[in-house]
Structure 1
Amino acid sequence: MPRAGLNRDAVVAAALAIIDDGGPEALTLAAVAARTGVATPSLYKHVKNLGELRNLLAVRLFDEFTDRATRAVLGRSRDEAVEALMRAYHEYATEHPHRYAIVPQRPDPDPAVQAAGERFVALFFAVLKGYGLDDDELVHATRVARATLHGFAMLQIGGGFGLPQDVAVTHQRLIDTVLAGLRATRGGAGSAS
């Protein structure tokens, strides 16, 4: 008999708690079963296997980040929107480093994960469209922004900024550099709004 209240969302929440506590390598079906107070075979009523659970986590994390970043950029445009997006991205990654570590960084064959990833990228497109970029330039600008944000976050999370200078100052310079690049890109010239 399944434990009362245990459903797919509760299984995903338990998996996230395990990742938050012990990192991605701590995630096993046995650990989720123990956390939810059921035998491991009981989880199969809610998820087919660990692969499906990882896909559900990827969708949840993409949605979680996209929702947070969308709230940050609402009512903003151009430089102000890009800065809000970059700050939201950085805050999410550094506040939840273990969750961030399992967010897929490449297209996924699972349709639900792919759709969630596309919503995430669409947010970048929507924010960067304010610079009047054509479709190709929009893709290039999104790639540059994502690579910059991901690299900075991974270096910070991994302890790669060991010198005493304030990382927040460096992060602001990163934002300023991306904004200057966007303004200089064809179609992006003009004053910031």
Structure 2
Amino acid sequence: MLTAAEEIVDRDGYDSLTMTLLAGELDARVSSLYNHVENLEDLRSLVQLRAMRLLGDQVRQAAAGHAGADGLRVLSHALRSFARSHPQRYAAITRPAIDGEAFFDAASETIEALAVMVRSAGLPEERIISTGIAVFAALHGFVSLEVAGYFDGVDGDLDEVYELVVRGAVTAAVLEATK
């Protein structure tokens, strides 16, 4: 059921996911879906949580063997790769969490991978969260515009532009460590 819901999200978008559409995809009755989830919000939460865990797996794998500025660059590219591969699921995880506690648990691998890289760049512990948020916000700004099609038709190398964004975010994090 959850795989079918993800397929709908990937194809039609997060907001298009309905119990009726899912039941149609599964050739089932809408009422039978309620044996598995409480309601549409519960289903959307499960999609959101699974997408965040998938991002966490990809980020963790990418981060292995890296540290500091190099590690931040690697994580930045893993985030972009995930968003490009799963633009609708990426959009789902960047919305307010339906189940905040479960979402934070699902995000723990991503958060920890970023924290490790920021720490290994020499940042003091009290600056890790704010710097991590700043790095994510810079990357998310570009990535969300890119996957939304904002840059379609723009002349220029978007990989080069993204590298400038990454370089700026990484440089800011490293400079923060030297304060």
Deviation of 1:152 after TM superposition, in Å, equals: 0.4
2:154 aligned partner: 163
Q: What residue is the counterpart of 1:69 in the other structure?
A: 59
- Which of residues 19, 40, 49 in structure 1 aligns to 2:39? 49
Aligned: 1:179 with 2:170 = yes
Q: How far apart, CA to CA, are the structure 1 residues paired with 2:102 and 2:15?
A: 23
More helix by share: 2
State which of 129, 141, 152 in structure 1 corresponds to 2:131.
141
> Equivalent of 2:18, from 8, 25, 28?
28
Whole-angstrom CA distance in 1 between matches of 2:131 and 2:106: 20
- TM-score, length basis structure 1: 0.85
Per the alignment, in what secondary structure is the counterpart of residue 101 of structure 1?
helix
Q: CA deviation at 1:60?
A: 0.2
Code of the residue aligned with 1:97 in structure 2: it is P
Calculate the TM-score normalised by the size of structure 2: 0.91
For residues 102-129 of structure 1, give each alpha carbon's deviation from its aligned partner in whole angstroms, at most 9, with x where no partner exists.
1144455443223113443222112211
Q: Once the two structures are superposed, what CA deviation does each residue of 1:162-189 show, in whole Å capped at 9, x if it has no partner?
A: 420110110111122222222211348x
Distance in 2 of aligned mates of 1:97 and 1:150: 12
**Amino acid of the structure 2 residue aligned with 1:20:** D
**Percent same amino acid among aligned pairs?**
25
By relative contact order (CA 8 Å, sep 6+), the higher-ranking structure is 2
1:4 match: none
Output the CA distance in 2 between the equivalents of 1:56 and 1:136.
32
Q: Give 1:31 deviation, angstroms.
A: 1.1
Q: Alignment partner for residue 79 of structure 1, among 54, 59, 69?
A: 69
> Which deviates the most, 56-65 or 121-130?
121-130
C-alpha distance in structure 2 between counterparts of 1:106 and 1:136, whole Å: 25
The answer for unaligned runs of 5 or more in structure 2 is none
AA partner of residue 167 (structure 1): L
1:60 correspondence with 2:55:
no
Gaps spanning 5+ residues in structure 1: where?
1-10, 189-193
CA separation of 1:108 and 1:148: change in aligned 2, threshold 3 A: same
Separation in 2 of the partners of 1:22 and 1:42? Answer: 22
Q: How much is the aligned-residue C-alpha RMSD, in angstroms? A: 1.7
Once the two structures are superposed, residues 114-160 of structure 1 have per-residue CA deviations (whole angstroms, 9 ceiling, x without a partner) of 31134432221122110121223111210111101111011112222
Could you tell me how far apart the structure 2 residues matched to 1:27 and 1:168 are?
32
Q: 1:105 to 1:135 in 2, by over 3 A?
A: farther
Could you tell me whether the CA contact under 8 Å between 1:55 and 1:110 is conserved in 2? no
Equivalences, count: 178
